[in-house]
Structure 1
Amino acid sequence: MPGENLTRIEAQERRAIVDTHSYEVGLDLTRGAEIFGSRTVVRFSATEGADTFIDLIAREVQSITLNGRDVPVSAFADSRIALEGLQRENELVVEADCLYTNTGEGLHRFVDPVDGEVYLYSQFEVPDSRRVFAVFEQPDLKATFAFTVTAPEPWKVISNSPTPEPKKHGDGRATWVFEPTPRISSYITAIVAGPYEEVRSELTSASGRVIPLGVYGRKSLWQHLDADYIFDKTREGFAYYEEKFDYPYPFAKYDQLFVPEFNAGAMENAGAVTFTETYVFRSKVTDAVKERRVVTILHELAHMWFGDLVTMKWWNGLWLNESFAEWASTIATAEATEWTEAWTTFNAMEKTWAYRQDQLPSTHPVVAEINDLEDVQVNFDGITYAKGGSVLKQLAAWVGIEQFFAGVAAYFKKNEWSNTELSDLLTELETTSGRELGTWAKKWLETAGVNTLAPVISEDADGVITRFAITQTAPADYPTIRPHRLGVGFYNVTDGALERVHHVELDVDGDLTEVPELKGQRRPDLVLLNDEDLAYAKIRLDERSLRTAIEHLGGIADPLARSLVWGAAWDQTRDAESSPSDYVDLVLRNIGRETESTTVRTTLAQLQLAANSYVAPEKRESTRAKVADGLWQLAEGAEAGSDSQLQFVTAFATAASTPAHWDTVQALRDGSQTLPGLEIDTDLAWQLLISLAAGGRADAAAIDEALADDNTAKGGEFAAQAKASIPSAEAKRAAWDSLIAKDDKPNTIVRSTALGFQHPAGVEQLRDFVASYFDMLLPIWNSRSYQIAQYIIVGLYPAPLANRELQDATRAWLRANPDAAPALRRLVDENLAGVERALAVQDRDAS
């Protein structure tokens, strides 16, 4: 990474000199497995006589020509080409040999183990189009892009513009010449190439244009790709957004491509969105995953307007892209698809992520200070996405949903094809709503931290409320007290059900807000602040409400209200205000009645964290056994073939910690024990094998045998995880060396190996790696790409130890390395924060 950074100041200085017009990019993808040819012609205006640079990461530059004169190739150094003596109008031509990657950055090359076919795809956000062509790599230097690609004749080649008929060379090669794009930022350009299968469709836009649609996937996965359903959700999203945004879809076509070894969920390349193959379901998946795919489809579609049509000036506006897409995709999912409980999912998943991120030492305002590219790389986090989306939900409630959409529509019309800042959006929202938003924005978007809201209730002898108020507190380091729009719900137990009997909606501000309209009401069994989840804040349950929740949480009919109560109980546990042992009891007693798949998924993950890291060390072994026993009982009692049955079985396999547990796992896998409706399909068989490996019941030979039966990319990932899960010093060392001593593993294998390395069943072996972990940090950071470095630094941290020795060693490294890259220190600091929180909760449990 050294030499590849770009600061905001450098970008601003370059933007003051340069204005880009067009790129013509020629790529030759027929030169073997390592390199491809890249030729860039970029035309731009500049301040006459000025000097600047253009970005490129390449193995070798063959030639550089600026305005017809040769520039020495020595001008290329440290991922830049120096450009001197610019004219008012300029033409730069750069020819280079660039490298394919296996890290999911730049132009990723994958060989399918099933059939040996080669697949390529680009991933350019944040700064990786420079790995493919010479480019002014910053979002506010928009231009048109015209790609010409030479590739094997049988391949398909897809980019942002509609795919043309290729010109065949007669030697097994062909060339595709794409029309120029509209003016867009370089990070949303795309090249996808290989023998992809495709299916075509179309829709008619609100403008009357016919928009071609495409869905693409690998040959060996094609039978599992449900393209018709994807087209259906896409059409629903188009109709919703074109109506609400009052702006027709801005690009010529819309392709969705499911690509191998993808780092994220998806990427919003203009008109050519790439998705992780996790969303191609070869085995049974939970409803949580199915719904997540729909939200992701609509998230990327929202970006076609918010991010691609109108783009941030610099990466401190990343939230303008991601927060908006999070909010828009959730409301579209809830209102335009069959997944009507999308806001419950948002609360259970996104807001849980946001609250966790906002309590780390690395917390930052939604509008973050982004000084350089390394800053933005670590800022694809729960604040940029989930807190920002939560805040926008509250803003929409604050100004009114119709006024909000009207402001957004005006924003698109005024700023089409250009770059903006936060003030540009707020100006339009102030106009349509009549509300002054500067104060709101300062408190919500320019300050960090999460507030906590708690009820203050007094009642008379007859149980009638004589006073109701809401207190608001803030952490000492981030003391901002904010305005909230929220609901208060009263719930009573009736015939075993917990039903809402009263609701008010109000504005809360200041340290204490009196709620006189609730005086005179009979005190209910449960008081739920932030009912309907408008606000972004942690909430507290009073003692009576918490007791009611423990007994009757499963009896709340409204899934969003249940999710809010689940979240409140978890927050109180994480904050060491209640015992993790009590949380374990709460989950095991109530999760069997939960109907929302994502709520189950999130809660089961929290249950495992509580058992593995939060309970007092002397209770850990017995608690882990209790959790696994409870999960197996839930699996046996679940409806045959149900979503919950699958979730409980996979959670049980992960939680297994005794010989009896692994006996059951083995019996499930070999078929000697069955559950009605449960199919041990390919992926579930792997999950069970990983459990057996972690229990010392499956060795490397058994894993290799399973891989021979499923010699696929996914099988390879499962096998890497399983081998790293084996609880022996030799297996852990082999996993470690495969990532640290070597640099040849693709991104998904790095990620899977790290996941197995951290398996809680092998926690004792991790003690031997504490010193090695800190020894490798700087060398790995300095030698690997950002994505791989992040996977290693987070994935190999021996977090399951959760002890004071690890805490002390982490603090010592941070003290000894004050000048390490801020992004690296942030990752280590976040690792430390997890251990410190675990120790605090352990102390609470012990007391």
Structure 2
Amino acid sequence: MYPANITRDEASARSRLLTTHRYQITVDLTGSPSTFTSTSTIAFSSLTGATFVDLIADSIIEASLDGAPLDTSGFNGERLAFEVSDGNHVLAITAACRYSNTGEGLHRFVDPVDSRVYCYTQLEVADARRVYACFDQPDLKASFEFAVLAPAHWTVLSNSPEVQPAVAGELGRWEFAPTPPISTYITALIAGEYHTVRTVYDGREAEIPFSLSCRASMAEHLDVDRLFATTSRGFDVFEEHFGEPYPFTDYAQVFVPEFNAGAMENAGCVTIRDEYLYRSRVTSAAYEARDNTILHELAHMWFGDLVTMTWWDDLWLNESFAEWASHFAQDEIRKRHGGDDPWATFCNQRKTWAYRQDQLPSTHPIAADMVDLEAVELNFDGITYAKGASALRQLVAFVGLGPFLAGVRTYFGRHAWGNTQLTDLLRALEEASGRDLSFFTGQWLQTAGVNTLTSEYEIDERGRFSRFTVVQHATEQWPTLRRHRIGVGCYDPTDDGIEHVHRVELDIDGERTEVPALVGVPAPAVVLLNDGDLSYAKIRIDRGLDVVVARIHEFLDPVARALLWGSTWDMCRDAQLPASDYVDLVTRGVAVETDLTAVTAVLAQAETAVRYYTPRAARPALATRWTAGLVRLLKDAEPGSDHQLAIVRALATSLGTPAGADLLRAWLAGEEVPEGLVVDADLRWRFVTQLAQLGGLDDDEIAAELARDNTATGAEKAAGARAVRPDADAKAEAWRLAIEDASVPNATHTQICVHFWAQNQEAVLRPYVDAWFEVMADIAAQRNRWGQRSLAIRKNIGELLFPRPFGDRALVARIDEWMATTELTDSVRRMVSERRDDVERALRCQEAAAS
């Protein structure tokens, strides 16, 4: 059960009863390191009836309604019920609230480098109530005025422009101006000894103060010029195409530690995980990913913050639009300033995530039925983000980019500062495009599953197509055949490489669609369905698969290569392309792949193919071949290049022999290091972790590495290195920290769970298979305080701590029996069924390869 659940019906009833106008919130951070005090004064109007205010707190210190004391005896730690009469009211509640170390509510972090304190809020989906009493639902918008008491030397930020504190001795009081009407989940409070850099952007209608903040110990890694440049260029694109000026007064971006997500779109005060401040060398793909995150959150200032969904049913639309818009903005910036094609990255990364999620037993329609917060928890996934964004890209292809943007401008202008539903956006798009979009909701948003596109063709005696048919396939579970707008691309070798020689764009509908425009066209070496990646569908390469496998690196178009990488990986996962062939494809093609996102992705996928999709008897030989292929790639890589770095990372992960351990130890000692490679902090921890997995480092040596990198990141990486050691005591301690110790912060907990199950450690790990089932039963029953642990921690246990190395038919049978005989919550059932599906898919691949 979701802690402190709120149902859609409750929220709808509350929004019919009352209207919120103004919050005045005072947060006192001058007390203990475990709790803080908040006072929330809410001005609202209502009809006569019963309602409740949301608050997750240790206790209510004082409460009043219209100046009269309010009975708090019914407060259950989650909400306080009360009666209201028709008219205007003021509700005031002072509460003792608790800091978080798991990234929900008000997170408090002490930097091990210098013992400085950093606090920040993370309030989506409904965690504003962990910080102040409120009506915590997106359609009850109000103006917010924050006041904060904190040490006078701290930096304090909120949704309104930065202010100077009134100082009394060592304490300060910050009072922020009222915000425009916004939802509770995008309010923000940042407080601590942050390092801040400021500039000004010349906006469409006013100058907009910009700021960047981070921990003092990370200040040297705050690459101010690039971050401000990306943000400014994003403002240029969105203010031009969205039709509305930036809706808030200033724009702060705060890089924070131990963040659960990538970033959060707090109105005018975005929080971003500070792993995006690169303290070590990274590839261009990492910078592109960070740019995309920055633009994603900026798009939310309009779509999500200015205009907000009524309830979480349209969470997908909120996130999907920002996903689409961030890639659109990157493409516009590329046209003006140069750079790689972001739609290739979208195909290589986001759509791969969507396709995987959509083939799990837990898949669901994009527009899921969010009956309560527990449903939101279950469905905040790759369908919400990546498949939804793919569907939006298909919608853009249907209506055209110009009409789509015109409809978006109408939508913003019509609903500014209000709440909407999907129908409001579709209505604006129909008006702008003149196209009937009634089919779109039913086919694309209300049904789950991914279709597969194949082709059938005939070639005449002149070598030309005499017939070409696109065939659409659905699954038995999800039989819907969708209407798609796709390209069909013809590719042939030229003196420069394999390139586009002909292309047709058309709508396909139903099971079979004839393509008369290809009749008479010379049959090319390769035919690529969904050319341009306009639609969301798996594709099969029915003409030219042998060419693709042998010569993928010769395709000149990065989006075409992305589609080919995706198709071959789908075939590998679907047991239609042996893992050994996929590994060979990667070692041939990755060296000249220009999209570093693709490089990183396919290297990781090949490692998965070796570890899980290969029969156990054949695994050692393929692992040796994979490592040898990476060694060859490393020798040929340009010194100091992004390719060199990406290949070294993959090679380090693949090393599993005594000779591999010797190489890692030599690199850590600065010996035999490839020319141009710098073994910096992050790369060093990668080597340390793999060496620890091979039994080549003990606790003292890991402690020495931590002393060398005495940072929060170092502490997290050291925890992972200890957990991965093939030692019974190390595993016992890692298990205790993951399961029993609630003081372990979320980021450290993740590292422990990621590294606990390691390859070739069956003897020491086998007892924990039983233990995992026991813990999952405890989580489902909320025994042993699991009902009080955060979602992030529970997901780590269910997903990352799953015993995947023991994936065989016996484990599948045990999961089936356990699920049939154990009373499970929806969230636990989902986590376990998804992991079971991973095992089942791997076994199908192994069995197909062995047959």
1:844 aligns with 2:844: no
Shift of residue 111, structure 1, vs aligned partner:
0.3
Q: Which residue of 1 aligns with 2:822?
A: 817
Q: In the aligned structure 1, how far is the partner of 2:828 from the partner of 2:741?
A: 21
Q: Which residue of 2 aligns with 1:488?
A: 488
Shift of residue 566, structure 1, vs aligned partner:
0.7
1:575 aligns with 2:568: no
Shift of residue 21, structure 1, vs aligned partner:
1.1
Q: Which residue of 1 aligns with 2:802?
A: 797
Change (3 A) 1:625 1:564: same
1:309 aligns with 2:303: no
Structure 1 residue corresponding to 2:279, chosen from 279, 282, 295: 282
Bigger Cα displacement from structure 2, 645-654 vs 579-588: 579-588
Q: Which amino acid aligns with 2:264?
A: M
Q: In the aligned structure 2, how far is the partner of 1:806 from the partner of 1:765?
A: 17
C-alpha contact (below 8 Å) 1:770/1:806 kept by paired residues: no
Please give the per-residue CA displacement for 1:762-806, whole angstroms capped at 9, x wherever unaligned: 355433211111111143442311121112211111123221222
Please give the per-residue CA displacement for 1:577-629, whole angstroms capped at 9, x wherever unaligned: 22122111211222122111000111111111111111112112222222122
C-alpha contact (below 8 Å) 1:408/1:425 kept by paired residues: yes
Please give the per-residue CA displacement for 1:29-54, whole angstroms capped at 9, x wherever unaligned: 00021111111101111221x11111
Please give the per-residue CA displacement for 1:672-731, whole angstroms capped at 9, x wherever unaligned: 212111011111111100110011111111111100111101101110111111123332
Shift of residue 459, structure 1, vs aligned partner:
1.2
SS in 2 for 1:206: coil
C-alpha contact (below 8 Å) 2:47/2:87 kept by paired residues: yes
Shift of residue 657, structure 1, vs aligned partner:
1.4
Q: Which residue of 1 aligns with 2:787?
A: 782
Shift of residue 565, structure 1, vs aligned partner:
0.5
C-alpha contact (below 8 Å) 2:753/2:797 kept by paired residues: yes
Q: Which amino acid aligns with 1:418?
A: G
SS in 2 for 1:600: helix
SS in 2 for 1:431: helix
Query: TM-score normalised to the size of structure 1?
Result: 0.98
Q: In the aligned structure 2, how far is the partner of 1:198 from the partner of 1:687?
A: 31
Q: Which amino acid aligns with 1:13?
A: A
Q: Which residue of 2 aligns with 1:35?
A: 35
Q: In the aligned structure 2, how far is the partner of 1:809 from the partner of 1:135?
A: 45
Shift of residue 821, structure 1, vs aligned partner:
2.2
C-alpha contact (below 8 Å) 1:694/1:761 kept by paired residues: no
Q: Which residue of 2 aligns with 1:476?
A: 476
Q: Which amino acid aligns with 2:63?
A: I
Shift of residue 561, structure 1, vs aligned partner:
0.7
Q: In the aligned structure 2, how far is the partner of 1:479 from the partner of 1:86?
A: 52
Q: In the aligned structure 2, how far is the partner of 1:598 from the partner of 1:361?
A: 28
Q: Which residue of 1 aligns with 2:525?
A: 525
C-alpha contact (below 8 Å) 2:327/2:346 kept by paired residues: yes
C-alpha contact (below 8 Å) 1:144/1:183 kept by paired residues: yes
SS in 2 for 1:367: coil
Q: In the aligned structure 1, how far is the partner of 2:809 from the partner of 2:720?
A: 27
C-alpha contact (below 8 Å) 1:720/1:756 kept by paired residues: no
Q: Which residue of 2 aligns with 1:332?
A: 329
1:199 aligns with 2:197: yes
Q: In the aligned structure 1, how far is the partner of 2:56 from the partner of 2:281?
A: 41
Q: Which residue of 1 aligns with 2:163?
A: 164
Shift of residue 497, structure 1, vs aligned partner:
2.2
C-alpha contact (below 8 Å) 2:158/2:189 kept by paired residues: yes
Q: Which residue of 1 aligns with 2:22?
A: 22
Q: In the aligned structure 1, how far is the partner of 2:788 from the partner of 2:488?
A: 53
1:410-421 correspondence runs (5 A): 410-421=410-421
Q: Which residue of 1 aligns with 2:682?
A: 683
Identity among equivalent pairs (%): 48
Shift of residue 2, structure 1, vs aligned partner:
5.8
C-alpha contact (below 8 Å) 2:199/2:210 kept by paired residues: yes
Q: Which residue of 2 aligns with 1:708?
A: 707
SS in 1 for 2:522: coil
1:164-563 correspondence runs (5 A): 164-170=163-169, 172-207=170-205, 209-337=206-334, 338-495=338-495, 497-542=497-542, 544-563=543-562
Shift of residue 493, structure 1, vs aligned partner:
2.2
Q: In the aligned structure 1, how far is the partner of 2:620 from the partner of 2:667?
A: 23
Bigger Cα displacement from structure 2, 468-477 vs 64-73: 64-73
Bigger Cα displacement from structure 2, 425-434 vs 441-450: 441-450
Please give the per-residue CA displacement for 1:31-86, whole angstroms capped at 9, x wherever unaligned: 021111111101111221x1111111111111111122212331211401111244
SS in 2 for 1:378: helix
C-alpha contact (below 8 Å) 2:46/2:84 kept by paired residues: no
Q: In the aligned structure 1, how far is the partner of 2:179 from the partner of 2:128?
A: 15
C-alpha contact (below 8 Å) 1:22/1:145 kept by paired residues: yes
C-alpha contact (below 8 Å) 2:340/2:595 kept by paired residues: no
Q: Which amino acid aligns with 1:242?
A: E
Please give the per-residue CA displacement for 1:532-571, whole angstroms capped at 9, x wherever unaligned: 11111000011x5110011110111111111111111011
SS in 2 for 1:77: coil
Shift of residue 313, structure 1, vs aligned partner:
0.7
Q: In the aligned structure 2, how far is the partner of 1:16 from the partner of 1:760?
A: 56
C-alpha contact (below 8 Å) 1:465/1:521 kept by paired residues: yes
Q: Which amino acid aligns with 1:618?
A: A
Query: TM-score normalised to the size of structure 2?
Result: 0.97
C-alpha contact (below 8 Å) 2:482/2:509 kept by paired residues: yes
SS in 2 for 1:74: coil
Q: In the aligned structure 2, how far is the partner of 1:305 from the partner of 1:778?
A: 43
Q: In the aligned structure 2, how far is the partner of 1:51 from the partner of 1:687?
A: 57
Q: Which residue of 1 aligns with 2:783?
A: none
RMSD: 1.3
Change (3 A) 1:204 1:496: closer
Bigger Cα displacement from structure 2, 223-232 vs 766-775: 766-775
Change (3 A) 1:761 1:341: farther
C-alpha contact (below 8 Å) 1:407/1:429 kept by paired residues: yes
Q: Which amino acid aligns with 1:38?
A: S
Bigger Cα displacement from structure 2, 521-530 vs 317-326: 521-530
1:739 aligns with 2:738: yes
Structure 1 residue corresponding to 2:812, chosen from 801, 807, 812: 807
Q: In the aligned structure 2, how far is the partner of 1:732 from the partner of 1:550?
A: 42
Q: In the aligned structure 1, how far is the partner of 2:521 from the partner of 2:163?
A: 69
Q: In the aligned structure 1, how far is the partner of 2:136 from the partner of 2:181?
A: 14
1:103-114 correspondence runs (5 A): 103-114=102-113
Q: Which amino acid aligns with 1:325?
A: A
Q: In the aligned structure 2, how far is the partner of 1:85 from the partner of 1:507?
A: 56
Q: Which amino acid aligns with 2:582?
A: Y
Q: Which amino acid aligns with 2:456?
A: V
Q: Which residue of 2 aligns with 1:750?
A: 749
Q: In the aligned structure 1, how far is the partner of 2:822 from the partner of 2:92?
A: 42
SS in 2 for 1:236: helix
Shift of residue 138, structure 1, vs aligned partner:
0.8
Q: In the aligned structure 2, how far is the partner of 1:569 from the partner of 1:496?
A: 23
Bigger Cα displacement from structure 2, 187-196 vs 17-26: 17-26
Question: Mind listing any 5+ residue stretches in structure 1 that lack a counterpart?
Answer: none
- Structure 1 segments, 4+ long, off by >6 Å, are none
SS in 2 for 1:142: coil
Q: Which amino acid aligns with 1:321?
A: N
